[in-house]
Structure 1
Amino acid sequence: MDANEQESIIGGKSFTAVAVNCAAKAGEWIKSKMGSFTQLDTKYSMHDLVTEVDKGAERMIRNLIGTHFPTHSFLGEEGVEPGPDASAKALQEMSDSEYLWIVDPLDGTTNYVHGFPFFSVSIALAHRGQVIVGVVYDPSRDELFVAERGKGAYVHGRKMQVSKESTLSHSLLATGFPADQHVALPANMKGVQALAPKVRNLRIAGSAALHLAYVAAGRLSGFWEYSLNSWDIAAGSLLVEEAGGRLSDITGEPYHIGVRNISASNGLIHDELLKELKAAEAAG
Structure 2
Amino acid sequence: MHPMLNIAVRAARNAGNIIARACEQLDLVVAEQKGANDLVTNIDKEAEQAIIATIQKSYPDHCFVGEEFGVITGENSDYQWIIDPLDGTTNFIKGIPHFAVSIALKVKGKLDQAVIYDPIRGELFTASKGAGAQLNGYRIRSSKAKELKGTVLATGFPFKQKHQMDAYMNIFQALFVHTADIRRAGSAALDLAYVAAGRHDGFWEMGLKPWDIAAGQLICQEAGVLVTDFAGGNNYENSGNIVAGSARVVKEMLKEMRPHLNDALTR
Q: Provide TM-score, normalisation by structure 2.
A: 0.92
Alignment match, 2:45: 55
Shift of 1:250: 1.1
Alignment match, 1:280: 260
* Equivalent residue letter for 1:196: F
Of the candidates 191, 197, 200, which is equivalent to residue 220 of structure 1?
200
Of the candidates 121, 130, 142, which is equivalent to residue 122 of structure 2?
142
Of the candidates 25, 35, 49, which is equivalent to residue 44 of structure 1?
35
Of the candidates 79, 85, 94, which is equivalent to residue 105 of structure 1?
85
Alignment match, 1:208: 188
> Could you say what secondary structure the match of 2:238 adopts?
coil
1:214-254 residue CA offsets vs partner (Å, 9 max, x unmatched) = 00000001101011000000000011000011001111112
Contact 1:37 1:52 in 2 (8 A): no
Contact 1:37 1:53 in 2 (8 A): no
Alignment match, 1:83: none
Contact 2:236 2:242 in 1 (8 A): no
Distance 1:188 1:78 in 2: 27
**Superposition CA RMSD, Å:** 2.0
* Equivalent residue letter for 2:48: E
Contact 2:101 2:116 in 1 (8 A): yes
Of the candidates 168, 187, 197, which is equivalent to residue 148 of structure 2?
168
* Equivalent residue letter for 2:50: M
Q: Provide TM-score, normalisation by structure 1.
A: 0.87
Contact 2:81 2:105 in 1 (8 A): yes
Percent pairwise identity: 43
Distance 1:159 1:100 in 2: 26
Contact 1:211 1:223 in 2 (8 A): yes
Which shifted more, 250-259 or 191-200? 250-259
Of the candidates 169, 177, 183, which is equivalent to residue 197 of structure 1?
177
Contact 1:160 1:216 in 2 (8 A): yes
Distance 2:162 2:21 in 1: 36
Distance 1:186 1:59 in 2: 38
1:60-96 residue CA offsets vs partner (Å, 9 max, x unmatched) = 111111111111100000013xxxxxxxxx69x99x9
Shift of 1:259: 4.3
Distance 1:213 1:207 in 2: 10
Distance 1:37 1:136 in 2: 26
> Could you say what secondary structure the match of 1:269 adopts?
helix
Contact 1:164 1:268 in 2 (8 A): no
Alignment match, 2:101: 121
Distance 2:61 2:124 in 1: 27
* Equivalent residue letter for 1:262: I
Of the candidates 18, 21, 25, which is equivalent to residue 10 of structure 2?
21
Shift of 1:130: 1.1
Q: Gaps spanning 5+ residues in structure 1: where?
A: 9-13, 81-89
Distance 1:127 1:40 in 2: 34
Alignment match, 1:87: none
Distance 2:133 2:235 in 1: 18
- Number of residue equivalences: 261
> Could you say what secondary structure the match of 2:68 adopts?
helix
